Amino acid sequence: MTQFIHPSRKFSLQPSSASGKKVLTDGIAEEHQGFDCYEEFLSTFLERGYRFCFFPELSEPFFELVLRHDIDFDTHLALRMATKEKELGVRSTFFFLIRSPMYNVLDPQDYENIQLIREMGHVISLHFDPTLYVDFEQGLRIEVDMFKSIFQTDIHIVSLHRPSTFFQQHDAPIAGIEHTYQSRYFRQVKYISDSTGVWRYGHPFKTQEFLTGKSMHVLIHPIWWMLEGRTNLDKLRCYYRQRVDALKANFSENCIPFRQLNGHL
């Protein structure tokens, strides 16, 4: 019997006497999504024999894993995640928004965080929101040119922000650029996502694809893994408090009168 380590607990895989297929003999409580230890989560894939690769490298039906990060909230959390991956020898692709109300890729610290992620050997690319444009193809061209100019890097694939059914079924490049919802990445391999802080298509380690070593595309958002809290709401509360404290500190640094209010808000 083969035993794998899960971020929150151990579970075992053993052949079924009826079909010969491997089945779980112990599982994960549904109310706890297991977003505790990111290192153990990644190590489980490595111990299973998966090779982490970039999107253009995905070519085999077994034991290849494309690890993707859509950065919706914070480049600091993304950098922490990238550092943990680097320590394990894991490579991933980080997609960043150009037009985000949560961070600014031109802000000195955000810019440095993204550059550091790339220097670790990860790929950085564009997280594109097509709803911001009447002509989404023209909008993509504009944002791709901006991203390339800012970070001096080529873009071979983009990730779509909160894609509608139309874009999830749009099985062709947009403005000549591949996206992560094309069939070769979204349907021809098992797609797993932790969007909204829950496993949207089943926990990776409980899928038949993982048990049989099929290649996978896994979308992980740093906010669910890099913050304290048992549930997604706990983590959001933690993040909200951190952002408020950071905003107060920034106001105090740049506005002398605000320093009188800082301790009272």
CATH classification of the domain holding 141: 3.20.20.370
Distance CA 42, CA 85 (A): 8
Average pLDDT, consecutive stretches of 10 residues, N- to C-terminus, the chain (265 residues): 37 38 38 77 97 96 98 98 98 97 96 98 97 96 98 96 90 95 95 94 92 97 95 95 92 90 76
Distance CA 79, CA 111 (A): 11
Closest CA to 114 of 142, 93, 132: 93
For residue 127, being part of any structural domain is answered with yes
Distance CA 144, CA 55 (A): 17
For residue 217, being part of any structural domain is answered with yes
For residue 264, being part of any structural domain is answered with no
* Torsion angle, alpha carbons of 147, 150, 154, 156, to 10: -20
Distance CA 62, CA 85 (A): 21
Question: Six-digit token pair at 151?
Answer: 């970070």
For residue 16, being part of any structural domain is answered with no
pLDDT at 33: 61
Which structural domain range is residue 150 located in?
52-199+208-226
pLDDT at 21: 36
In this structure, which amino acid lies at residue 80? R
For residue 257, being part of any structural domain is answered with no
Number of domains in the chain: 1
In this structure, are residues 126 and 154 in contact, taking their beta carbons and an 8 Å threshold?
no
